[in-house]
Amino acid sequence: MATGVRKLILSAVGIAALSGAGYSGYGWWTTGRFLESTDNAYVQSDITIVSPKVSAYVREVRVAENQLVRAGDVLAVLDDRDFRSKLLESEAAVAAQKAALGTLDSKLELQRAIIDQAAATLASAEAEQRRAQQDFDRNRSLASDSWTSRQKLETSDADLRKAVAQVAKARAALAAEHDQVNVLRATRTETEARLAQAEAALDSARSDLNNTVIRAAVDGVVGNRGVQVGQYARPGVQMLALVPLPDVYIVANFKETQLAHMRPGQSVAVSVDAFPGQKLDGTVESFAPASGSKFSLLPPENATGNFTKIVQRVPVRIALPRDNALSGLLRPGLSVVAEVDTRSGDHSAHALNGGVFGALVSKQAVAAK
């Protein structure tokens, strides 16, 4: 009797084990083999680092840690006294160059009048030369017949020579006045260049003054605020960070052996460690152009004698809908588990958006043809 019961129990256990194995095998065959999962995944966001463009002491800090700000809100104000002085100096330089330009324009107008006057003087000298030439010719004709004195002929000859010299002088003066116009025009061009330089300096001074007021470039939450009143701020030195919540995404580092059937557009089930029992629906957005090790500070050098093969991981970006169930609660750096359903999405070779794996698949397809 006991032996029969024992056989019955063992048979039942065996049947249950076989049924469980069969159910598990069926689940793996129909669903499990199409799922690729990793817990090497984290919430990420495009964090904006705020730093000043000019060097100055911090006069005001208008935001607190973890404060929500909008694009354009004032975050901090730097001491602007030196920049205001520089702006006034630049404005004065621009005004001086504009005045110099106006003076040159007036000189050019005056020079045109002087040229007209020199041209009139030349015309008068030429007329006097013609009169002197006629007198000389007349007196020379009369002197040849002894109708006039030798002294009068010499006087008319001197008058003619004087008239010729006056014409030459008037022509030289007119040419000099024309050359003076060219000089004034060149000076005006030079002054225009100095004016443009002064205006550029003015724009730079105005920009520097505006940059003493540090504003938020994007909507976000203030984090890692290290700026204090009285601190000397310098370009490139971080003052604070802006985290654009709830615009977050997932970066999942999948093994290279998991990527064969993964494509952009495939659906992803995301579980966040901080919110157990809550699952989010995501979408594979893109693949990194290289493995994570290639972007490390010291990339591995595999061309060595003691090579050890290590499975590489490739970052995969997973998009989350803006209105997901945990919108506003997710924070960059939180750990998640990402499970990609490779049955969904576009399975064509070009779907990898130009990634390395898409290129490999394309080459294989060409080779097959």
Q: What count of residues does the chain have?
A: 369
pLDDT, tens only, 78-89: 999 999 999 999
pLDDT for residue 190: 92
User: Burial level of 249, CB count in 10 A (0-12/13-18/19+)?
Assistant: middle
Range among 267-271, 294-298, 306-310, 341-345 with highest mean pLDDT value: 267-271
Top-confidence residue, 6 or 204: 204
| Same domain? 190 vs 280 | no
pLDDT for residue 139: 65
CATH number reported for the structural domain that contains residue 272 in this entry: 2.40.30.170
Domain that holds residue 62: 49-80+217-241
| Same domain? 264 vs 207 | no
Domain for residue 147, yes or no? Answer: yes
160: pLDDT strictly greater than 80: no
Mean pLDDT of 91-106: 92
Point out the least confidently predicted range of 126-140, 198-212, 340-354: 340-354
Domain for residue 21, yes or no? Answer: no
| Same domain? 98 vs 201 | yes
Domain for residue 19, yes or no? Answer: no
Domain for residue 267, yes or no? Answer: yes
Look at the chain and report how many structural domains it folds into: 3
Point out the least confidently predicted range of 80-89, 93-102, 342-351: 342-351
Tell me which residue has tokens 């500070």: 297
| Same domain? 188 vs 107 | yes
pLDDT for residue 345: 65
pLDDT for residue 367: 41
| Same domain? 109 vs 135 | yes
pLDDT for residue 361: 42
CATH number reported for the structural domain that contains residue 72 in this entry: 2.40.50.100
pLDDT for residue 113: 83
The pLDDT-based confidence of 352 (bands split at 50, 70, 90) is very low
Percent of the chain exceeding pLDDT 70 equals 80
Domain for residue 111, yes or no? Answer: yes
Kindly report the backbone phi and psi dihedral angles of residue 164, in degrees, each rounded to the nearest multiple of 5, phi listed first.
-65, -40
| Same domain? 88 vs 186 | yes
Mean pLDDT of 149-164: 70
pLDDT for residue 328: 85
pLDDT, tens only, 325-336: 898 899 999 999
Buried-state track 62-92, b at ≥16 Cβ within 10 A, e below 16: ebeeeeebeeeeebbbbbbebbeebbeebbe
137-145: long-range contacts, CB 8 A cutoff, minimum separation 24: none
Mean pLDDT of 2-20: 69
Domain for residue 349, yes or no? Answer: no
| Same domain? 175 vs 194 | yes
The pLDDT-based confidence of 313 (bands split at 50, 70, 90) is very high
Pairing assessment for the beta strands 335-341 and 35-45 based on DSSP bridges: antiparallel
The pLDDT-based confidence of 23 (bands split at 50, 70, 90) is low
Mean pLDDT of 333-349: 80
CATH number reported for the structural domain that contains residue 94 in this entry: 1.10.287
pLDDT, tens only, 239-279: 999 999 888 999 999 999 999 889 999 999 999 999 998 89
Q: Give the mean pLDDT of the chain.
A: 83
156-164: long-range contacts, CB 8 A cutoff, minimum separation 24: 156/132, 159/132, 159/135, 160/129, 160/132, 160/133, 160/135, 160/136, 162/132, 163/125, 163/128, 163/129, 163/131, 163/132, 163/133, 164/129, 164/132
Point out the least confidently predicted range of 18-22, 123-127, 234-238, 315-319: 18-22
Domain for residue 204, yes or no? Answer: yes
Residue 275 one-letter amino acid: F
Cα torsion 290, 295, 298, 302 to 10°: value is 0
Contacts of 16 (CB under 8 A, 6+ apart): none
| Same domain? 189 vs 199 | yes
| Same domain? 145 vs 176 | yes
Q: Is the pTM of this model over 0.75?
A: no
Mean pLDDT of 278-297: 90
Report which DSSP code applies to 236.
T
pLDDT, tens only, 33-47: 778 899 999 999 999
| Same domain? 97 vs 204 | yes
pLDDT for residue 269: 93
Cα torsion 131, 137, 142, 146 to 10°: value is 120
Buried-state track 153-170, b at ≥16 Cβ within 10 A, e below 16: beebeebbeebbebbeeb
| Same domain? 330 vs 262 | yes
Domain for residue 99, yes or no? Answer: yes
Answer whether 42's CB lies under 8 Å from 316's CB.
no
pLDDT for residue 245: 86
pLDDT for residue 353: 45
| Same domain? 206 vs 275 | no
Pairing assessment for the beta strands 248-255 and 35-45 based on DSSP bridges: antiparallel
pLDDT for residue 301: 78
Answer whether 42's CB lies under 8 Å from 320's CB.
no
| Rg (alpha carbons) of the chain, rounded to whole number | 46
